[in-house]
Every structure is written in C-alpha cells, then in structure tokens.
Amino acid sequence: MKLGPLFLENNLILAPMLQVSTAPFRRFCRKFGNIGLVCVPMLYTKRIETHSRSVLRYLHKIEEERPVSVQLIGSDLDALKSSIDFLESYQFDVLDINAGCPSRRAIKAEEGGYLLKNLDVLETLLKASVKYSSRPVSLKIRTGFNNTNNIEKIADIVNRSGIDFLTIHGRTVKDRYLDSTLDLNTIKKIKSLVKIPVVGNGNIYGGLTAKKFLELTNVDAIMIGRASMGNPEIFQHISQCFSRGIESKHETSFSKARKYLKLYEECVDEFLDDTIDMPFSHEKFKLMELRRNAIWFTKNIEGAISLRTRISKTRNLEELRNLITSN
C-alpha cells in the first residue's frame, strides 16, 4: 500500500512504545508476519543535542529494519534542528514528531501532548521538520489536550505544514490510556479534514477490532501497540482476518512461551552483535529485555501468576531460563 510517499507491504504499523518496542522486539514481531512499518520510540531532542552518544543504541542497525520510522520529542527548535542533523547519517524512512505523549515529564517540559494546546509551537516545529529533514515527516497526536475542541485547528496546521502523514491515537492527553475513552468519531473527523493519509490507533486487539476501526474511521492504515506485547502473531492474525474473515485466537502455553523466549533471545543477540563499543551494559540490557517479555509470554496461562512474580525478581539469565524451562 502507499502511505504518502512510502510503499508499505501492508497497512499495519507497530506503534512506538518506549522500553517496549525496542530493536529486538521489532525484529521479533517481524519474524511472525509482515508489518508495513515499525517505529523507533521517542528520542528526546534535548538529549540528542547534548549527549548524542546516549541514543546511539536506539539507532543501532536501524538500516536493517526498513521501512522504519524514528520519533523525536521536544519543543525546542534548535534542539530539533540539531537532532535532525544528527539523524541524517542514519538510514530510515520517516521522521515522526511526537505531539501526544501524556507523561508528566513531557507536559512539564511543554512537549509531546502539551503541543496540542500550544499550537503555534506545534506548527513551527512541523514546518522546521519538513524544511530540514531529507526524509518524509509524520506527526503523531491524540484527539486533543483536555477535549477535542482544537481538532479543526490541528487539521489546518497539518494541512499547512507540508507533512506526509498523520497518526492519531483516539484519546485526549488527559485521558491517558483509560479504556472507556476511545473516540473513533474524532479520528473519522480529522480524516475527513486533512489532505494527507491518516493512521488510526487505539485499542486494536485483533482482526475484528481492526476491521471495525477501519470501517468506522475510514483511516488509511492502523497502528497496533499494547496488543503486540506477548503476542507477536497479532499482525499475522489481523492480516488473516482481513483476507479470510476469521478471527484467530491467541493461544498461550508454557511450550509456546519457551519457544518465544528462545527466539527473542536470538533477536537480542543479533542486535547486540558488534555493540562492544556502545555505552551501555549488554548483560543488563539482555536480562531486562528477556525478563519483560517472559512476563508477557506467560500472560493468561493458567497458574502462571506466581511464576510471573518470580520472573520479575530474577537477577540473571540463568535463573530466568531455569524458571521458564522448569514449567
């Protein structure tokens, strides 16, 4: 499919998720089926400007993941420009600007979701991104800050800015992740107002929710976040549901968890190859990655609640492997 200037294998996108959709995670999910686009989670422009070495690991081998998008968060124009400059030597496909993050840190720094109530700054940042980036530019937003009253103004800015596509998560910043607040009407509204393709996002957990989302909002592509935690097959399941109309159930078992963990470890090792000079602890990185994912892999398995608590307390890889193999 075509998403602005990009040619993607399908209309499914893996969401940027800080400390979740890491490079090994993105590789792992892609082993189970086609994913049109994967996204590197937010990198702080201020950090790139002052300590660019600290972000090197987030960009390591991204050229092997194309098509891939890299997301920046920040509200300072100079930091944005120097971050774009810094990224120029990397090979990736889209520069994404974060205007949706609801974290306290982001709101305090007047960046991320805060930009939805600081629309002049948002417009300046978008125009600068389009001007200075040699790659296509996208914007990721929520439906508004406290409410959706600004949606028409946001659409005007999007239309004036020259960006290539828009991603919208169907909640306000204030609503954070509250399940009951998903608002598909505002997604449909902005889709009808902007002249560029729109990616819709929020609470897509399988083929049927994906189909309904597309029908109700008319968006061009969909982005999947939390449903991929522990379920790398979600993208394949959604594609199958689109082609055959049948929803595949995500089955979990200890044997599947063991298989997933082995494959995940291979993805981590592939990623860590040749990173000897990078400024971070490989051992700690690997343990955190495997521990976090092992907890998700054992989600919904009968009797695994205490196992997950034990997994979260493991202090080294051997303990973790023993726990998983002894079940």
Ligand X SMILES: Cc1cc2nc3c(=O)[nH]c(=O)nc-3n(C[C@H](O)[C@H](O)[C@H](O)COP(=O)(O)O)c2cc1C
Q: Is 200 in the site for ligand X (CB under 6 A)?
A: no
Q: Do the Cβ atoms of 23 and 241 come closer than 8 Å?
A: no
User: What are the tokens at 25?
Assistant: 């995670």
Residue (11 or 98) nearer to ligand X, CB: 98
CB closer to ligand X out of 46 and 323: 46
Q: In angstroms, what CA-CA distances link 139 with 55, 97, 198?
A: 21, 5, 10
Measured CA distances, 188 to 163, 184, 201 (Å): 19, 6, 12
In the list 169, 191, 291, 292, the residue contacting ligand X (rule: CB under 6 A) is 169
According to the binding rule CB under 6 A, does residue 203 interact with ligand X?
A: yes
For ligand X, the binding residue among 20, 119, 263, 278 (CB under 6 A) is: 20
Distance of CA 99 to the CA centre of its chain: 13
Q: Which stretch binds ligand X (CB under 6 A): 74-82, 152-160, 225-233, 282-290?
A: 225-233
Query: Is 71 a binder of ligand X (CB under 6 A)?
Result: yes
Which member of 6, 16, 57, 123 binds ligand X (CB under 6 A)?
16
Q: Is 204 in the site for ligand X (CB under 6 A)?
A: yes
Name residues whose C-beta falls within 8 Å of residue 178's C-beta, 6 or more positions apart in sequence: 171
Residue in 96, 85, 89 with CA at minimum distance from that of residue 6: 96
Asked if 311 touches ligand X (CB under 6 A), the answer is no
- DSSP alpha helices (H): ranges in 165-281? 184-193, 207-217, 234-244, 254-272
Stretch that binds ligand X, among 4-12, 13-21, 62-70, 213-221 (CB under 6 A): 13-21
Q: Which of 29, 39, 101, 241 is catalytic?
A: 101
Contact with ligand X (CB under 6 A): which of 11, 45, 69, 98? 98
The one among 24, 113, 225, 232 contacting ligand X by CB under 6 A? 225
Per this entry, what is the length of the chain? 327
Please list every residue from 36 through 65 that binds ligand X, using CB under 6 A. 41-42
Site string for ligand X, 112-151 (x = CB under 6 A): ----------------------------x-----------
Q: Name which position in 4, 8, 10, 18 contacts ligand X (CB under 6 A).
A: 18
The CB-of-100 to ligand X minimum distance in angstroms stands at 5
Q: In sequence order, what are the residues at sequence separation of 6 or more whose Cβ sits closer than 8 angstroms to the Cβ of residue 172? A: 142, 143, 144, 145, 146, 147, 148, 181, 183
224 binds ligand X (CB under 6 A): yes
Closest CA to 183 of 157, 156, 213, 158: 213
Residue 196 DSSP symbol: S
Q: Tell whether residue 288 is a contact of ligand X (CB under 6 A).
A: no
Report, in Å, the least distance between residue 97 CB and ligand X. Answer: 9
Cα 19 to chain centroid, rounded: 10
The yes-or-no answer on residue 241 being catalytic is no
φ and ψ of 134, to 5 deg: -85, -5
Q: Name the closest residue to ligand X (Cβ).
A: 225
Contact between 90 and 59 under an 8 Å Cβ cutoff? The reply is yes
Sites of contact with ligand X (CB under 6 A) = 15-18, 20, 41-42, 71, 98, 100-101, 140, 169, 201-204, 224-227
> Could you list the active site residues?
101
